[in-house]
Chain A
Amino acid sequence: MTVYDLTLAELRAKLDKRELSAVEVTKTYLDRIAATNPALNTFITICNETALAEAQAADQAIAEGKAQALTGLPIAAKDIFNTAGLRTTCASRILDNYVSPYDATAIARIKEQKAVIIGKLNMDEFAMGSSNENSAFGPVRNPWNQDLVPGGSSGGSAASVAARQAVAALGTDTGGSIRQPASHCSVVGLKPTYGRVSRYGVIAYASSLDQVGPVTRDVRDCALMLQAIAGYDPADSTSVNTPVADYQSNLTGNLKGLKIGLPKEYFIEGLDDDVRKAVEQAAEKYRELGAEIIEVSLPHTSYAVACYYLIATAEASSNLARYDGVRYGLRAENAENLVDMYMQTRAAGFGSEVKRRIMLGTYALSSGYYDAYYLKAQKVRTLIRQDFLNAFETVDALLTPVAPTPAFALGEKVNDPLQMYLSDIYTIPVNLAGTCAMSLPCGFSTDERPIGLQLIGKPFDEATLLRTAHAYEQATEWHKRKTEF
C-alpha cells in the first residue's frame, strides 16, 4: 500500500510512530498531484513551496511531542476559503489575481494543528453549480470516469480526495455542494448544522445557507476533520456557541434503538433505478444492524428547489456586489466612466451562471416583487424546517438518496439550468432547514458510477449522524473501492 492510499487516521499513526515524516508524506502528495492534476484539473493552486515548509514545521512539532490530530497531514481547501498569502480565486476571473491577506477561521483552525495546506481546489465559480463545469479554470473531471462530472460545487474537493491527491479536503455546502460531489466521487462528505462551523473568511455565496464541511476517505477521518473546525467563532455572528462533542469516541458501531426515517417524498419519479436500489439496500442493511426503519413525511419537499433559488440568489446578488473593480480583483481597462467600469468589470469577470443568479436574485428583491418572491420563500423555508423538526420527533436520522442520478456526463446538463438545479433536489431541503447531513458511499450503478447515501441528522447532533454513518461503513465495503487513478 502506498502512502497516499492511507487514510488520515492511518497516516496519523505512522507519523506519530515516526514511520513516516510529514515532509515525506507531503512530497508524495505533491508528486501525485503533479502527475494527476493535468488529467483531473482538481487544483487551481498547488502549494509546492509553502506545503513543504509547513511539513517541516509539522515534523518539528511531532519531534517535540506536540502533534495534534491533523499535524503534518496534507489537506486541500476549496478555493473559496481565504488563505493568507495565497491566491484565492473562488474559481472566478474576477478574483483571478486576488491574494488574501487573512485566513478563514476553518483554515486557521487546521493550521493551528499544523496541518499542511497542499493546495486550493477547483470548484464552480462562487460555489454556483452542481457539476464543476462553471469554473473559470475549466471543469474538474471525475476520477472514476473522466467523461463524467465530479458534481459540484465542491467538485475539486471530492475528486481530489477520491483521486488520493489529498488525504482530506475542506468544502462548502449551500444546497448540496459537499454531499452531491461526495456522492458522485464515492467519498464521505459532511455538511454540518448551520452555525456549527465558522463562515468567517469563506467567500459568501448565500450567507444563510453556506456551511463549511469536510470531504474525506471514510467516516472516522470525517469525524477528525469536523472536530478540528467545529465550534463557536466570535468573528461569525451566526456561529452558535453550543458544545462540540468528541466525535471520534462516538463511533461505537452501536445502532441499538436507533430510528431511521425514510421520507416518502424523496422516493419519487425521476429517481434513478440504480440509485433507488442502492439506497433501499442501505436501508435494509441498517435494519440488519439493529436500527428501526420508519416511513416519514416531509410534506413541503416539492417547494424546496424553488424556495432555494429565490433565497440563495437574492443573497448572492447582494454578496457579489463587492466585486466592482474598485478595490481588488479584476478591473476593466478603458472604461468611460464609473458605471461603465462597473458594467465592463462585472461583464468580463463573472461567468454566465453567476450572472444568471445575480439577475434572478436582484429581481426577487426588487421593489414590488419582494413580498411575492423573497418574503414568500422565507415563509416556505420556515415550513420546510418545521417538516424536519416534526420528523425528528419520531426518528433520530433520515435516510435518503443524495442525488436523483449518479454522476452525469460532462456537458450533459450545461445548457439546461433547470435540469441542473434538480440534481440538488434531495440536498437543498437540508440547507433550508439548517440541519446537518452527510453523504457516504453506498454502491455503484450498473455502469460503475458511484452512488451515495444521504443521512440527515438533528440540528447540532453531528455525533449521532457520524455514529450512524460509521456503523454502516463498518458493515460494508463500498468505501474501500478505489479509483484507478
Chain B
Amino acid sequence: MSQSYETVIGLEVHVQLTTNTKIFCGCSKDFGQTPNSQTCPVCLGLPGALPVLNQQVVELAIKTGLATNCQIAPRSIFARKNYFYPDLPKGYQISQFELPICEHGWLDIDLENGERKRIGITRAHMEEDAGKLIHGDTPQTAGNSLVDLNRACTPLLEIVSEPDMRSADEAIDYLKKLHQIVVYLGVCDGNLEEGSFRCDANVSVRPYDQEEFGTRAEVKNINSFRFIKQAIEYEVERQIDLIEGGGKVVQETRLFDSDTGMTRSMRGKEDAHDYRYFPDPDLVPLVISPEWIEKVRATLPELPEVKRGRFVEELGMSDYDAGVLASDRALADYFDACVALGSDAKSCANWIMGEILRKLKETDTEITDVPITPELLTGLLARIADNTISGKIAKTVFEKMWQNGQSADQIIDAEGLKQVTDSGAIEALVDEVVAANPDQVAEYLGGKDKLIGFFVGKVMQASQGKANPGMVNQLLKKKLTGN
C-alpha cells in the first residue's frame, strides 16, 4: 500500500551557537547554572531594556551560511515574532523574517545506491531562544510552573531546508551532514540531548502521480537522530493510514513522544498564532560588507567532504577509512598531525581507527584529551617500521604509553621489549623447542605443515614475544627440514 505514496520531508533545525555570551546582552550562556543566575535587564525583558546584537553571532551565522553554500545577505533585518508565553519575557521573540542573513544554500547527501542528492536550504536566520519552564517539585512550589530565563536570549541559527527529502533515511543523512558541518565549524557543540541541535520535521505524503504536495504536519520535540527517524516513519504511516481510510490529513503541529514512539496533536491550524511579525525598531538593519564575508571565509576550516577527498587522493587511503577519519574534525586533525610528523598514513590510520578509537571508547575520553600525542604515536609507528618491536609488542607499548605518557623508546628500553634479531639467540630457542616436542616434529615431518604455527608460537612465547617473527619462521623451517 505505502508503495503508492511518496514521502515529502522538510526540516527546520535550530542550532545553538557557541558564543561566549547571549545574542542581545552580555550574559554568559553556560548550561546547567542556578536558575535565573545568568540574566540581566535585557534578557529578563525588564521595562526599558534594549537589545544590542552580538557580533560573534553574526560571524558564526556567516560561517555556517558559507559552509552550506548559502548567499549571505548584504542587508538583513531583525523582526519581532509576537506571542505570549511565560518563558518569553518580552512577549515577543527577536528573530528574522523578511531578509534573513542566509538564503539559497544546499548540501549534498550520499544515498544508499551510491548516488548523490542535493538538498536545498531555503534560509538560515538568527534568533534568540526562550527560557524554560520547570514544574515545581518542592513543598513550596508544587503545582506551580517556575520560569528559568538562563536560556532566554541565547543565540540560535534556524536552518530551514527545502522539502527535498523523500524518506526518513534521507532526512537523517541530511541532518547528520548538517550536524557534522556545524560541529566541524565549531559554531555548535552538537549536543542533541541538551538541545544544542534541535529538529522539527515537516512531513507530508502524496500519491506518486500527484504533483502538488500533500497537507503537512509539523512534528516537534525530537532530540535524537533515532527518534527523528522514528517520528518521521510513524508520521508517514499515520498519514497514509488516514488517507487510505478515507480521511484527510490536517495541517497541525504534532509532538513526538519518545516513550510511545508516536506523535500526537499539539495544536491545529485554527489555533495557529498570528505572530504579527514586524521589523524590530530597537535594532538597526544588519549590513554585511563583502570584506567581512571574505574575512570570515578565510577562517573556514577544511570541511569533511574536502578532507575526505584529500585523504583518498593525496594519501592513497580507502574511501571508507578516509570517511571515518574525516567525520570528526578533532580526529582528522590528530591524523593530519601524525602524518605531518612523518607517520605512514596507512598504518597510522589503522592504529587510530583500531587502538585509539577503542581505547577512547573504553575510557570515555575525547580525542582532544587523548594521552597519546601525535608525537608519541608517530614514535611508536617508527619503531614498528624499523623492526625494533613487533606489532604485537607495539600493543603492549601502546597500553603503557596511554598510562604514563612516555615515549615508545623510553618504554621499550625500560621494559626490555626490543625485538630479538640476533640469529644465534633465536636459534638457541628454536633448538630448545624442537628438542622439547619430538611428537609434533614427527607429525610435521609426516606432512602436517600447519604445525609450523605451533612451533612459532612456542618460540615466541619462550622469547616473551620479543623474537622477530619472520626470523623465527625462517630458522624453524631450516631446523625442522634440515636445510
Contact = CB atoms under 8 A, between A and B. Distances in A.
Interface stretch (A199-207, A266-274, A285-293, A299-307): A199-207
B284 interface: yes
A235 B82 CA distance: 23
B49 A237 contact: no
Contact of A238 (B45, B47, B282): B282
A235 B50 contact: yes
A88 B86 CA distance: 23
Interface in A341-357: 342
Interface in B269-283: 274, 276-278, 281-283
- Residue with the highest number of chain B CB atoms closer than 10 Å, among A81, A101, A208, A327: A327
B423 to A, nearest CB: 79
A370 interface: yes
Nearest to B78: A237
B143 to A, nearest CB: 13
Contact of B90 (A202, A203, A321, A362): A321
Nearest to A365: B276
Contact of A365 (B46, B51, B82): B82
Nearest to B42: A235
- Residue with the highest number of chain A CB atoms closer than 10 Å, among B53, B80, B147: B80
A199 B50 contact: yes
A318 B84 contact: no
A207 B281 contact: yes
A423 B189 CA distance: 57
A202 B45 CA distance: 13
Interface string B21-52: 00000000000000000000100111111111
B92 interface: yes
B278 A321 contact: no
A100 B92 contact: no
A394 interface: no
B90 A238 contact: no
Contact of B41 (A102, A207, A317): A102
B278 A314 contact: yes
Nearest to B283: A237
A324 interface: yes
B89 interface: yes
A386 B24 CA distance: 32
A326 B52 contact: no
Nearest to B149: A327
A95 B80 CA distance: 23
Band of interface residues on A: 35 or more
Given A100-B46, A235-B52, A321 B41 contact: no
Contacts of B80: 318
A206 to B, nearest CB: 8
A237 B82 contact: no
Given A321-B82, A342-B84, A237 B48 contact: no
Contact of A324 (B44, B84, B283): B84
B276 A367 contact: yes
Contacts of A202: 48
Interface in A52-99: 81-82, 88, 90, 95, 98
Interface in B74-97: 80, 82, 84, 86, 89-92
A47 interface: no
Nearest to B282: A207
B79 to A, nearest CB: 10
Contacts, number: 96
Interface in B50-71: 50-53
A426 interface: no
B91 A321 contact: yes
Given A208-B281, A362-B276, A327 B84 contact: no
A236 to B, nearest CB: 5
A81 B278 CA distance: 26
- Residue with the highest number of chain A CB atoms closer than 10 Å, among B80, B84, B278, B284: B278
A234 interface: yes
Contacts of B284: 237-238
Given A102-B41, A322-B91, A82 B278 contact: no
Given A104-B48, A237-B50, A365-B278, A321 B84 contact: yes
A82 B48 contact: yes
A318 B276 CA distance: 9
Contacts of B46: 82, 100-102, 328
Interface in A181-237: 199-204, 206-208, 234-237
Nearest to B83: A321
Contacts of A365: 82, 276-278
Contacts of B90: 321-322
A476 interface: no
A345 B41 CA distance: 22
A374 interface: yes
Interface string B232-251: 00000000000000000000
Interface string B125-147: 00000000000000000000001
Nearest to B147: A326
Contact of A321 (B49, B53, B92): B92
A475 to B, nearest CB: 40
B185 to A, nearest CB: 27
A326 B80 CA distance: 20
B92 A318 contact: yes
Interface string A108-124: 00000000000000000
A237 B47 contact: no
A21 to B, nearest CB: 33
A365 B274 CA distance: 9
A315 B82 CA distance: 11
B41 A98 contact: no
A366 interface: yes
Given A101-B41, A322-B89, A370-B278, A200 B50 contact: yes
A418 interface: no
A1 interface: no
Contact of A237 (B44, B45, B51, B278): B51
A238 B281 contact: yes
Contact of B274 (A101, A314, A326, A366): A366
Given A327-B89, A327-B147, A234 B45 contact: no
A175 to B, nearest CB: 15
B50 A322 contact: no
Given A237-B53, A321-B92, A98 B276 contact: no
Contacts of B276: 317-318, 362, 365-367, 370
Contacts of B89: 322, 326-327
- Residue with the highest number of chain B CB atoms closer than 10 Å, among A238, A321, A374: A321
Interface string B83-119: 0101001111000000000000000000000000000
Nearest to B24: A237
A199 B52 CA distance: 12
Interface of B: 41, 44-53, 80, 82, 84, 86, 89-92, 147, 274, 276-278, 281-284
Given A318-B92, A370-B276, 7 more contacts: A82-B48, A101-B41, A200-B49, A237-B283, A318-B82, A326-B147, A370-B278
8 contacts: A203-B47, A206-B281, A237-B283, A314-B278, A322-B90, A326-B86, A365-B278, A367-B274
